[in-house]
Structure 1
């Protein structure tokens, strides 16, 4: 009799652990698609849908509107991709629906939000609405206009070397982003710690020697309503990488 109870106890414990793990990794929504570069060349494999897991937003922060993904902007936080990526090309279109809106996509990101910001460590590909500089003057001085045209920088523990320095951040060398209600196109090439960003059809920014080179993608909710569409990931061949360049898997 004791052996039976012992077996049942172990069974129940395993079931509870499994439920906890499953709930912790529950997919919140699907958005975008991933293709392998070699499969893309051969045309042999269908795209794989990208699945997103909530980190610290909520199930009401995001919703699908046809082919678009809409983020309400609150609470501040991120959702992350189900899988980690190392070398890849990303295409995404986005538009702010509020003047001065703030958002972005993190690449090579971990799953540990910083207490002071609710955002994790990774390389942020900034998405700001053009009026942000007008709304965030300090001592009467306006931030550099390049700030809103696709900055790249290491957030949290992630460190990078900027191509076009604005302190530790890298600013775009040309102002190409469009304002509220207009769609912007980003192409982001991520290879072995180097990132190059194209804004609306032209490469204008980059960073190199990122301290994190394999991790999750994160979509950011940061206080303003924003829409995304046409998110595509083309996964490239693996490159040379050290264990310290890889974030902890969840």
Structure 2
């Protein structure tokens, strides 16, 4: 009987230890539940800008602005799938963002991961009539609204992808992005091709961007990772609800 009792105690302790380990192990979590906008807060768009259809998050693109996550994130992996529905469409996702916009400004401070439809470069010629570099529409990374960072593959202050992998209008693109300790690494459709580092902000809100054209999102997931060492100036201010 004593042996059986000890065995049962051991099983209970093992189960408790396993449960504790499972809680500590990073897990994927949905940021979009496929049904409604739970977990997201409108910043400066409209009730008509964002909707849900067939498990997709639909953004009309108007007015220009963002909605943000209901909490801040520091170190994490982000999986997000997106497709533009208009040629030359513009959008993006902001990380480590303030989640607010200043008066007269439509987009927030943050680290932007660009989402441009391929025809954008044909629709926005340079002053001399030449076309912008094709790299512009291939997941550029840059600090927006005053956020500073150091590009891996410089195009000015922006970092350009070293291989062109984005798909065009109506086709789904997959971004897998690593955000750790001020470093960003971007995988486009299954391959890491861009990076930026030394972000001046390392913790803040996630924002999805509405910028003039219809775009669809799906399968938005996050895996939070252990925190790092932060100073106050590296954390975006909390937004009062």
Tell me which interval the TM-score lies in, with the shorter structure as reference length.
Answer: 0.7 to 0.9
Aligned to 2:84: 96
Residue of structure 2 equivalent to 1:152: 141
Quick one: structure 1 residues 73 and 123, their matched pair in 2 at CA, closer, same or farther if it must change by over 3 Å? same
- The count of aligned residue pairs is 213
Change in CA separation of 1:243 and 1:190 when aligned onto 2, cut-off 3 Å: same
The one of 127, 133, 151 equivalent to 1:162 is: 151
Write the distance in 2 (CA, Å) between the matches of 1:164 and 1:46.
31
Kept after mapping to 2: 8 A contact 1:93/1:183? yes
Q: 2:107 corresponds to which residue?
A: 119
Query: Is residue 51 of structure 2 the alignment partner of residue 63 of structure 1?
Result: yes
TM-score (norm 1): 0.81
CA spacing shift, 1:231–1:72, aligned 2, 3 Å: same
- Please give the TM-score of this superposition, normalised by the length of structure 2: 0.84
Contact 1:109 1:218 (C-alpha < 8 Å) held by counterparts = yes
Aligned partners of 1:121 and 1:155 also within 8 Å: yes
- CA distance in 2: counterparts of 1:40 and 1:241, whole angstroms: 21
Question: Displacement, 1:111?
Answer: 2.5
- 8 Å CA contact 2:29–2:221 kept in 1: the answer is no
Q: Which residue of 2 aligns with 1:247?
A: 236
Deviation string 1:207-231 (CA, Å, 9 cap, x unpaired) is: 0000110000000000000000000
Name structure 1 gaps, 5 residues minimum: 1-36
Deviation of residue 39 (structure 1)? 3.8
CA gap of 1:192–1:65, structure 2 versus 1, over 3 A, is same
Q: CA RMSD in A?
A: 1.9
| 1:84 aligned counterpart, secondary structure | strand
Instruction: Note closer, same or farther for the CA distance 1:117–1:129 as it changes in structure 2 (3 Å cut).
Output: farther
| Deviation at residue 240 of structure 1 after TM alignment | 1.2
Q: CA deviation at 1:113?
A: 1.5
SS at match of 2:148: coil
Q: Deviations over 1:100-120 (max 9, x none)?
A: 000000000003314454000
Compared CA separation, residues 102 and 246, structure 1 to 2 (3 A): same
Change in 2 beyond 3 A, CA 1:228/1:242 = same
In the alignment, is residue 78 of structure 1 matched against residue 69 of structure 2? Answer: no
Q: Does 1:172 align with 2:151?
A: no
Question: Which of residues 170, 175, 180 in structure 2 aligns to 1:191?
Answer: 180
- Cα distance in 1 for residues equivalent to 2:24 and 2:86: 37
| C-alpha contact (below 8 Å) 1:114/1:121 kept by paired residues | no
**Is the 8 Å Cα contact of residues 29 and 223 (structure 2) preserved in structure 1?**
no
Is contact 2:26–2:223 with CA below 8 Å preserved after alignment? Answer: no
Residues in 2 aligned to 1:42 and 1:117: alpha-carbon distance in whole angstroms? 36
Counterpart in the other structure of 1:29: none
